[in-house]
Structure 1
């Protein structure tokens, strides 16, 4: 039994999705478990297509068999209480195949298969188009469980990529709000100024024209951390977010085992383990955490309507406080943990430390007052989908709020003028849902990341008013493609008619999970850059003119840094037959005072584990003579792991030219006559992997799974 299963109640709090935050777009009731509930109790069951019929399964009461060509699949599960002499089922509980595929999020199964070459039937495409046309006339109260799959891209003009360098970004770099331009001699000669040159210029008084502080900051703005990892901190589950405190003295990391680890980073080059706090009875993972401005309290959330607030004092082992975001403003908190009405995706402390704002799966933005222990503001009915990210617009004022949603909009709320419950304005220009928003803290600039594979910079002075967006359908462009499994097709790219962004950044990949982006800090970078994690295992650092300033290759730095464990296959996110070492950088944080960056990643065999890697600027040096040596592996409490380091060294010596594969790769020749057989083999491999994951993750409901034959 894994640590995550030990920490969460397996019977009362069922987690029924095997990959990523399924509630994020699919789950309507976090307490619903399709393997535990009978289908006749579902009110929407009659309106959904019968999956058994689509898969040619016959009557749901018949033993579940799937017939796809000459592939035979039999699905059974042992019943711990059955098996009597008179039991006609022979001690087995019949589980309809529709329930198993619902358990495995079958809306994404077809995309897994199609991405591996399995063709989509034409009649299925026609049926889906008819369902989308009927969607406009459907009951407003009816929300299908896989609503993100019901809209297809409307055909339009192909996307016109914005220019790089971006003219607006060039202007911003010249105004001084985002760093300082190079000395004119360096620009004329097209050379990059090194650190030694900057120090000499400062001593000579060059570039100093009475602005000593800006000149000093310009020295460090070119010190971008390198790909070599100072240390690799390993977690047994995927890591979801990690951030430095505002003063750089703390770093916290949220993992899927419902724990938040805190580290003392007052010396950014020598971390010390500090404290670990838990989320009791969490759902799927820790989604977010935020540290108070005075570093005394940490608030963290899961896919539930309750957040927890714990003290950062390592000597204080008291239970964390419960912050119930589901109560209405002015009402007291209900007793007991009870049913969770929604999940919390994002949390942020206000600049004065008195409030916490949250974005929820209920399509709402909630402000919670820590003194009265209750919500004081609930902004609903404006966003049309989950609110994945929230933040305050000004570090010195709690009045301006930003919220980014899967409805493609970034809305601006002014709490001083909320009489009609509407936002002060909105930013439109993304063509898919937003995954993260970050404010520069000056009440003017805000940054957003999106599933349309772009990051955008916005200026508050250019936002659209609420009257301007009343007649605009924000879902006009979005496809709702399954970013967890699908690549983003070029055919989906298009230009929004009402794009009011200032600069658009492209190159990173916003796939697999809600990948985050940030402004670089003013102290260590002179606010020169914006940066984002990426599904390809890198951190992308951009200049404000949309040119690429540099990349930090976390995947290369961590390759084969831990041996593959026996249960890695069961917890793998990748459902391919190869189980390669994969890295997806979900979050990154730049230290406010030093050229040090910490990257929080899904990392390992099949993305089954997580890491936090520390990267520092080393001027491109291949080796570091300092102590301790760079690139070594540590556990969550920063204890050296000799077996991990020995494994990597031995692997590097044996496989110096290509990555290590943890199992043989299946290869088949392709020719015209064997194409269909090839597709069926791919289907068999995909379903085999899915059933193995289900058998391990959902015991005792799926105690035994029969073999797949061809």
Structure 2
């Protein structure tokens, strides 16, 4: 064996010597004829980068040979003396399990003799070398089955090199080249979602008027039977529910309200008589929607000295007050009465619970930003999610925080809400740490949450509660929505043992597409239904349950960065889409603000649409979508879409698809431009890049804005 070790040393010193047999080269030629003929693996470990590259190529060659061997079923093994022999087709491997002490130049590792059957000059390779080549192949299992590596009683006292540690380190140095399980989407339609639809918790199933032909009642027939009042009370109620839940708003816009900055959120009040819309110019516009088809401008309130944008707003249950926030630790509370001109009241969420506000330079400094705000069902409290990784509850009577939940979320809290409309005890919070946490204020002596939902692999952008204290919906940067049931939440102690972001890809949702090739299934996902198809990119896109009045709670819906509103059935099937981009295409002329406010990764100034939020009217089949919308996403719109039975036009008055400014004043020159604007295809041909990437402001540059919101 000493002479064989010297042969190995000579081979390393003279790699081009034709008299030295190159077993790895012969293997590669047999496995793949396209391998370069002058390829010669190095036996030296002095150059780590070169060694890793060669090891990767040799491991791939051995993988091909191993596959051939397995398919031919010609693997055999014998043991004689101190050698273990494995015959792999035309290749013979001998494992020396005896100590090598004949030569001072011998490698400290046991030697492995690799040769063709009948070869006169076998090649000797060190044990660590062959394990490095076989670390990512199936041949390792063959070696283990034949007594290699040797047990502890066979190891040399002077050799403390652990083969298992070597394999692990080799995998890590190659970037963990293990094969992850193939990702598969959950079944659609979802069995759990179908059961929910059949149970009556989420709408009713249309019944057949002709069961033999499986024919359902037409809309006109249902309307006629309802007006005639024929049948039992239950039958009339089912007819009403079937009528409402089948009326999905169409893509044609009733009206297009234009803003000179991007629109971030907009919601109807619980009674449908009020609508507010938040823009990036730090203003919130309010509208009277008591007649949902004839909106009236109400008033505008402003956030003084705001940062980046209005992040969120919430309306009190009695519609008397509106609270709104920016990326600051203070929110403002403004009356909605158009006759009330008093200044908004400041609400400081950075105070410690029970501590009074101190005015001065230090008190005016923003400690964090507020991403989300919600009124409680009784209108007495406001909950906020912050960039300080915390959830804060503020009492409106004392104007001070009464609860601060910290040190549980590991990243920004992008969304918060109350779990029950009749009780302020249950809170939900969704964070960039991929978790949705449930808080019960009646049992928080240890400051920990009541339970945790895990299943998303990227940060959460929004959460919405059904209001029954049981079901909650979440939207995520992993391009999915999930429906959760509080009865299936994970305990806080068990969640503490799991790293929440271990399955994240760390992609930047503001500027990149989601890397689908890196998608992995979360092993602790206990969600009821998973919805996918929409895109959650560029900003914190929102999702909602459909209202019980106008939809019978049949659907969930979400905005999308591709310019559409996606409406899903509870069984994860797509019920329909509202194409906001097509409805608004070329609806305003290019202006000087276009070049100044373009938002696009490649400097694209064509017409782009990203629907950030949408609100379904509680009483009529109507959706109002607030969007980044315009040339290069430089401006914003609020578009109103109602059910029109699939018709492209409306014979009523006023005509649909007209353009208005933020005070609902008509914009006839916008209408004229749209009628003569070039086609989308012509715009794509004529577009010119403006810049390669928008200038990104981070929260670290200004009061630690972070990457939570844009």
Secondary structure at 2:596 match in 1? coil
Corresponding residue to 1:500 among 518, 523, 526: 526
Tell me the alpha carbon deviations over residues 156-176 of structure 1, each in whole angstroms, 9 at most, x when there is no partner.
323210111100000000000
Cα 1:192–1:306 shift into 2, 3 Å: farther
Tell me the alpha carbon deviations over residues 117-154 of structure 1, each in whole angstroms, 9 at most, x when there is no partner.
xxxxxxxxxxxxxxxxxxxxxxxxxxxxxxxxxx9999
State whether structure 2 residue 314 is matched by structure 1 residue 303: no
Corresponding residue to 2:389 among 358, 363, 372: 363
**Maintained 8 Å contact 2:382/2:396:** yes
Mapping 1:137-152, distance limit 5 Å? none
Corresponding residue to 2:639 among 613, 622, 644: 613
Aligned equivalent of 1:547: 573
Cα 1:306–1:433 shift into 2, 3 Å: same
Mapping 1:448-487, distance limit 5 Å? 448-487=474-513
Aligned equivalent of 2:340: 316
CA–CA separation in structure 2 for the residues paired with 1:209 and 1:522: 19
**Maintained 8 Å contact 1:400/1:412:** yes
Aligned equivalent of 1:404: 430
1:185 is displaced (CA, Å) by 4.3
Corresponding residue to 1:631 among 632, 657, 675: 657
Corresponding residue to 1:277 among 276, 281, 301: 301
What value does the CA root-mean-square deviation take over the aligned residues? Answer: 2.2
**Maintained 8 Å contact 1:330/1:374:** yes
Secondary structure at 1:285 match in 2? coil
> Where does the alignment leave 5 or more consecutive residues of structure 1 unmatched?
1-150, 667-681, 699-710
**Maintained 8 Å contact 1:579/1:662:** no
Cα 1:575–1:479 shift into 2, 3 Å: closer
Cα 1:324–1:186 shift into 2, 3 Å: farther
Aligned equivalent of 2:31: none
CA–CA separation in structure 2 for the residues paired with 1:153 and 1:435: 32
1:193 is displaced (CA, Å) by 4.5
Secondary structure at 2:425 match in 1? strand
Mapping 1:171-186, distance limit 5 Å? 171-185=195-209
Secondary structure at 2:254 match in 1? strand
State whether structure 2 residue 510 is matched by structure 1 residue 488: no
Secondary structure at 1:661 match in 2? helix
Secondary structure at 1:573 match in 2? coil
**Maintained 8 Å contact 1:578/1:664:** no
Aligned equivalent of 1:601: 627
CA–CA separation in structure 2 for the residues paired with 1:237 and 1:315: 26
**Maintained 8 Å contact 1:433/1:450:** yes
Aligned equivalent of 1:334: 358
CA–CA separation in structure 2 for the residues paired with 1:487 and 1:347: 28
Mapping 1:24-423, distance limit 5 Å? 156-185=180-209, 189=213, 193-202=217-226, 208=232, 210=234, 212-336=236-360, 338-423=364-449
CA–CA separation in structure 1 for the residues paired with 2:212 and 2:492: 46
Aligned equivalent of 2:562: 536
The TM-score normalised by the length of structure 1 is: 0.71
**Maintained 8 Å contact 1:577/1:665:** no
Larger RCO of the pair (alpha carbons < 8 Å, separation 6+): 1
Cα 1:389–1:578 shift into 2, 3 Å: closer
Aligned equivalent of 1:98: none
Cα 1:362–1:154 shift into 2, 3 Å: farther
CA–CA separation in structure 2 for the residues paired with 1:365 and 1:152: 37
Aligned equivalent of 2:463: 437
Corresponding residue pairs, total: 522
CA–CA separation in structure 2 for the residues paired with 1:187 and 1:484: 50
**Maintained 8 Å contact 1:152/1:480:** no
Aligned equivalent of 1:57: none
CA–CA separation in structure 1 for the residues paired with 2:177 and 2:196: 34
The TM-score normalised by the length of structure 2 is: 0.71
Secondary structure at 1:198 match in 2? helix
Aligned equivalent of 1:107: none
Secondary structure at 2:549 match in 1? helix
> Where does the alignment leave 5 or more consecutive residues of structure 2 unmatched?
1-174, 702-710
Secondary structure at 2:311 match in 1? strand
CA–CA separation in structure 1 for the residues paired with 2:626 and 2:212: 39
Tell me the alpha carbon deviations over residues 405-431 of structure 1, each in whole angstroms, 9 at most, x when there is no partner.
011110000000010000000111111
**Maintained 8 Å contact 1:207/1:215:** no
